[in-house]
């Protein structure tokens, strides 16, 4: 029989690794399953300014410190993509088998914490996929350096979009912030700081309708929302920052999801299935921030430990 873990955690982002830390400190055996690199979305953050007591810390530094903590408590990582979870109710207490894209990785656990995070929301333009890696990016801190002394555009209105603008403005010639409305979800201080920069221009009530260039992006087509007037804007790069989509497709039919694909859960991070908990951007909630991700991880792990103890 494959090794049985007390808790399997799907996703090693901030929520998943925090959950692991709490579960390990409660003396539970834990396996984290991560399809990419531990850290998740925070790895793409150039500088963290809104997490308590860590001013100026980069996302990569934060992720590495958290990973080191988990490893210090003997937490185990397995690099595979979970594609399905099944349950065996024949045992005295339910057991969960996690199937992955690696046939050699299919752990069994007494409880599961779901923390798969989310994926970038795309523009859904016909030319978009062709320009990914050739001018179109979803991460300014990952790809911004390729556009030094060039003109670029950022599409979005949230904190991530404004952080991207501020980061890019340090070394590009010009940054256009394209917003489909005149309202911003970002912190007011970030918007004001971006407006104060000489090489940043705000294009409000404007949508992006087409991408052009060969072999790389050369221009984007803009359409004003009120008049439907179109124009071309020459740019070498476009950083799309219009939100994220929960990475929960593999959970359909296993736990309850809302109409947008987020996991339905209680404040205790309990899903519709006993023994299955969730944490982070994958679950339905009002605020998706680093602070709420680690808070979810702590709650989910605490509740999973209580669940396991009740089964003993």
Q: What is the pLDDT of residues 16-61, one digit of tens each?
A: 999 999 999 999 999 999 999 999 989 888 788 889 998 889 999 9
Please give the residue range of the domain that contains residue 300: 4-120+244-311
Same domain, 72 and 39: yes
Q: Are residues 31 and 51 in the same domain?
A: yes
Region of 160 (left: φ > 0; alpha: ψ -120 to 50; beta: rest) is alpha
Q: Among the options 139, 269, 278, 282, which is catalytic?
A: 139
Nearest C-alpha neighbor of 106 from the set 128, 77, 85: 85
Q: Which of 88, 101, 142, 258 is catalytic?
A: 142
Shared domain for 194 and 270, answered yes or no, is: no
Is-catalytic flag, 143?
yes
CB atoms within 10 A of CB 153: 26
The per-residue pLDDT for 91 is 67
Q: What is the pTM of this model?
A: 0.83
Query: Using H for helix, E for strand and C for coil, what is the string for the chain?
Result: CCCEEEEEEECCEHHHHHHHHHHHHCCCCEEEECCCCCEHHHHHCCCECCCCCCCCECHHHHHHHHHHHHHHCCCEEECCCEEEEEEECCCCCCEEEEEECCCCCCCEEEEEEECCCEEECCCCCCCHHHHECCCEECCHHHHHHHHCCCEEEEECCCHHHHHHHHHHCCCCCEEEEECCCCCCCCCHHHHHHHHCCCCEEEECCEEEEEEECCCCCCEEEEEECCCCCEEEEECCEEEECCCEEECCHHHECCECECCCCCECCCCCCECCCCCEEECHHHECCCCCCHHHHHHHHHHHHHHHHHHHHHHC
Same domain for 251 and 108, yes or no, is yes
Residue-level pLDDT at 79: 96
**Is a pLDDT exceeding 70 seen at residue 106?**
yes
Residues 224 and 292 in one domain: no
Same domain, 253 and 154: no
269 is catalytic: no
Same domain, 217 and 170: yes
The tens digit of pLDDT for each residue in 218-272 reads 999 999 999 889 999 999 999 999 988 999 999 999 999 999 999 999 999 999 9
pLDDT at 141: 85
Task: Identify whether 139 is a catalytic site residue.
Answer: yes
Specify whether 248 is located in the same domain as 116. Answer: yes
The CATH number for 34's domain is 3.50.50.60
Same domain, 159 and 299: no
Q: What are phi and psi of 295, to 5 degrees?
A: -65, -45
Q: Do residues 249 and 234 share a domain?
A: no
- Please check whether residues 248 and 110 belong to one and the same domain: yes
Domain boundary pick from 186, 214, 240: 240
What's the domain count of the chain?
A: 2
pLDDT at 1 over 60: no
Which residue in the list 143, 247, 281, 296 is annotated as catalytic?
143
* Average pLDDT, integer, range 97-110: 95
What pLDDT score does 45 carry?
82
Picking from 240, 266, 281, the residue at the C-terminal end of a domain is 240
Q: Which residue, of 214, 240, 266, is where some domain finishes?
A: 240
Whether residue 104 sits in one domain with residue 11: yes
């Amino acid at each position: 029989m494959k090794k049985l873990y007390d808790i399997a955690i799907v996703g090693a982002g901030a929520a998943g690794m925090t959950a692991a830390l709490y579960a390990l400190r409660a003396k539970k055996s834990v396996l984290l399953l991560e399809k990419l690199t531990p850290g998740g979305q925070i790895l793409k953050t150039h500088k963290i300014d809104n997490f308590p007591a860590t001013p100026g810390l980069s996302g990569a530094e934060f992720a590495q410190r958290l990973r080191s903590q988990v490893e210090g408590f003997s937490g185990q990582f397995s690099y595979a993509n979970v594609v399905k979870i099944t349950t065996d109710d024949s045992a005295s207490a339910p057991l969960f088998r996690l199937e992955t894209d690696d046939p050699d990785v299919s752990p069994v656990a007494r409880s599961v914490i779901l923390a798969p995070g989310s994926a970038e929301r795309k523009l859904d333009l016909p030319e978009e996929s062709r320009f990914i890696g050739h001018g179109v990016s979803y991460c300014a801190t990952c790809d911004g350096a390729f556009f030094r002394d060039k003109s670029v555009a950022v599409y979005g209105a949230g904190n991530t979009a404004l952080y991207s603008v501020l980061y890019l403005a340090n070394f590009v010639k010009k940054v256009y912030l394209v917003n489909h409305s005149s309202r911003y979800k970002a912190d007011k201080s970030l918007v004001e700081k971006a407006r104060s920069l000489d090489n940043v221009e705000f294009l409000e009530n404007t949508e992006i309708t087409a991408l052009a260039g060969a072999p790389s992006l050369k221009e984007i087509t803009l359409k004003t929302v009120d008049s439907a007037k179109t124009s071309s804007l020459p740019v070498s790069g476009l950083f799309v920052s219009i939100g994220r989509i929960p990475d929960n497709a593999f959970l359909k039919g296993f736990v309850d999801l809302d109409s947008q694909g987020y996991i339905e859960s209680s404040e205790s991070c309990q899903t519709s299935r006993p023994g299955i908990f969730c944490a982070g951007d994958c679950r339905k909630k009002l605020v998706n921030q680093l602070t709420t991700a680690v808070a979810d991880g702590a709650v989910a792990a605490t509740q999973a430990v209580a669940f396991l103890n009740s089964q003993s």
